[in-house]
Amino acid sequence: MKAVRIHEFGGPEVLRYEDVPDPQPRKDQVLVRVKACAMNHLDIFVRTGIPGVTLPRILGSDIAGEIAEVGEYITGFKVGQRVLLAPMHFCNRCAKCGAGLQNQCREFTALGNGVDGGNCELIAVPAVNVIPIPDTLDFNQAASVPLVFLTAWHMLVGRASIRPGQTVLVLGAGSGVGIAAIQIAKLFSARVIATAGDESKLEKARALGADHGINHYKQKISQEVRAITNKEGVDIVFEHVGAATWDESMKSLKPNGTIVTCGATTGPEVKFDLRFLFARQLSFLGSYMGTLGELYEVLSHVFAGRLKPVVDRTFPLKDARTAHEYMAASQMFGKVVLNP
């Protein structure tokens, strides 16, 4: 089959579109023909090199396709069925996995990170990863859901325990997680303040339900938040930007407020004054993807049409290099999807 692999870490030039042997599914696995694989910032981090990635590696976490083969030990699936894949690898036999806390398993990793992913034509996965999709979702839309909607759900619901009527500041509204967070927060009847780098992205964020928009290049986030909230601040800041926004995120919180973060796109090192943390009784929460149970929970809302994936544009898999360059330029609103 054809696949995009990296044999070394580096810029987009290390992505190689090449022939690799077809995966040979085990008797307890399902072979899926990949129709769409959505990109995430994780693809760029894996390409440039993060701990735990061995080479060569096929990138790509978010996969939708058709079942091509069903292992002998598996029941309940049939060839040709349209599915998406839970974007995670876990052992499925430790205390954490048994408790449904897959993202705390010692083997936990994303597809395309610690194990091979979906930038290819065929992928073999355990049956536990395979989730049928309704006809209302095309493959590009289905591939645009798993990682970002799961991540945003775990952040807001699993970690920050969002409650109806709260005010949520969503940074980077044009990103995949931002788009998911706006919609999930609205599902909980929260008031949403979204930030983005230009007016057209803010307009799209409002169309998804954001109540207020802040241009984070032209306006000072905490000042605008103060004005919008009548000096109160927000209950939850949805962070994934990191160094560039951390100060503003802290200053935007009301007393007892929470920052929940899943990433550090602009850099991982931040500073804060401990007196500010304890005196204002703030919470800083880390969040890493989510559990399989949470994936089913958020998918139920996607399948019912209450949460909507947003596809920015598609590229043929062979043009993965161009897609990486496009993504690094941050011009998109929604997901960039590769089609084998």
Residues 6 or more apart from 58 whose CB is under 8 A from it? Answer: 3, 4, 5, 20, 112, 116, 117, 118, 119, 120
Ranked by CB distance to Zn ion, the top (closest) residue is 105
Q: Which is nearer to Zn ion, 106 or 231 (CB)?
A: 106
Q: Does 88 bind Zn ion (CB under 5 A)?
A: no
Q: Is 91 in the site for Zn ion (CB under 5 A)?
A: yes
Q: Which of 70, 97, 120, 131 binds Zn ion (CB under 5 A)?
A: 97
**Cβ 289 to Zn ion shortest distance, Å:** 14
Q: Is 169 in the site for Zn ion (CB under 5 A)?
A: no
CA dihedral 140, 142, 144, 145 (to 10 degrees): 170
Asked if residue 185 binds Zn ion (CB under 5 A), the reply is no
Q: Is 86 in the site for Zn ion (CB under 5 A)?
A: no
- Residue 205 touching Zn ion (CB under 5 A): no
- Is residue 292 within the footprint of Zn ion (CB under 5 A)? no
In the list 53, 84, 105, 253, the residue contacting Zn ion (rule: CB under 5 A) is 105
Per the structure block, which two tokens stand in for 332?
A: 């998109």
Given the complex with Zn ion, which of 61 and 291 has the nearer CB atom?
291
Q: How far is the CB of 127 from Zn ion (least distance, A)?
A: 16
- In the complex, the smallest distance separating the C-beta of residue 29 from Zn ion, rounded to whole angstroms, is 17
Asked if 99 is part of the footprint of Zn ion (rule: CB under 5 A), the reply reads no
Shortest reach from residue 167's CB to Zn ion, in Å: 36
39 binds Zn ion (CB under 5 A): no
Q: Looking at the DSSP assignment, which residues form a beta bridge with residue 237?
A: 169, 259
Nearest distance from C-beta of residue 94 to Zn ion, angstroms:
3
Q: Where are the beta strands (DSSP E) in the chain?
A: 2-6, 15-19, 29-38, 57-58, 62-70, 82-85, 88-89, 109-110, 122-126, 130-132, 167-170, 191-196, 212-215, 234-239, 253-261, 283-286, 311-316, 335-339
Residue 73 C-alpha from the chain's centroid: 31
Residue among 329, 336, 284, 34 at smallest CA distance from 179: 336
Q: Site residues (CB under 5 A) for Zn ion? A: 90-91, 94, 97, 105
